[in-house]
Amino acid sequence: MTDDELGQLLRDCPTLYHMAARGSWPLIQSHGLLGTRALLDLFEVQGPEREAILSHRRPDGVRLTHPRYGEATVRDQKPMSDRGLESCLQDGMQPAEWYRLLNERAFLSLSRKRLLRLLQARPYREDEHDVIEVASAPLVEAYRDRITLAPINTGFTARYPAPRGSGTFLPIADYPYAHWRAKRAKGERVVELAVSPGVPDIRRFVRRVVRMQGAEERALLWTGPEG
């Protein structure tokens, strides 16, 4: 991806979205939007519990507690399965390796349409969520060297899962934007933006944080400096 292509992407997708469990925003505001491994580091989770979270599918969210930081929820991975991964993983990669790749990153969607699709998916439509809206250009400027892009939903394997492997997460400079621009409409040329191991100062890029259930906005939780 050239700088001109990156500029086009940021103009087409000025806002990034992250769906967090209800009640997650205060911890994220204080300690950042963290990938799973970084969150486990913060909460000092070690031993078999840590290994199970990092290298196995999570059928349900995992509640963490810490005497200083309180509570946090590691999100479930219901849209994914070992069987689905085995059918689409490349390079000889195993499901446990893929879960570890995912857990190294904090993920943001470039499309509100995809956010709403996730919010209204069967496993999540009855629950409330803290939705964080982030200004894309300032975040990319600050974290460019830690960002990878993906052309697929990397945590979804239902129906006909897209092939994936070691080359799915690409640095901005290596992402084949021209290839996807020729095939997809605006907002779909990059599906996921991920930051490793997370964004500890996420609050300075936030436009607003909204409590949502499905497509309904229930409450405005916070308006940030980019709002």
CB contact at 8 A, 94 and 189:
no
In the predicted structure, residue 129 carries a pLDDT above the cut 90 = yes
State the average pLDDT over residues 45-62. 97
For residue range 155-209, list pLDDT tens digits in order.
999 889 999 999 999 999 999 999 999 999 999 999 999 999 999 999 999 999 9
CATH code: domain of residue 210: 3.90.210
Report whether pLDDT(227) > 90. Answer: no
d(CA 132, CA 27): 13
Q: How confident is the model at residue 126 (pLDDT cuts 50, 70, 90)?
A: very high
Q: How many domains does the chain have?
A: 1
* pLDDT on residue 140: 98
Q: What are 6-10's contacts with CB under 8 Å, separation 24+?
A: 6/140, 6/172, 6/177, 9/110, 9/177, 9/189, 9/190, 10/136, 10/137, 10/140
- Omega of the bond leading into 171 within 30 degrees of 0 (cis): no
Residues 6+ apart with CB under 8 A from 91: 165, 166, 167
pLDDT (0 to 100) of residue 159: 84
Q: Which domain holds residue 135?
A: 3-223
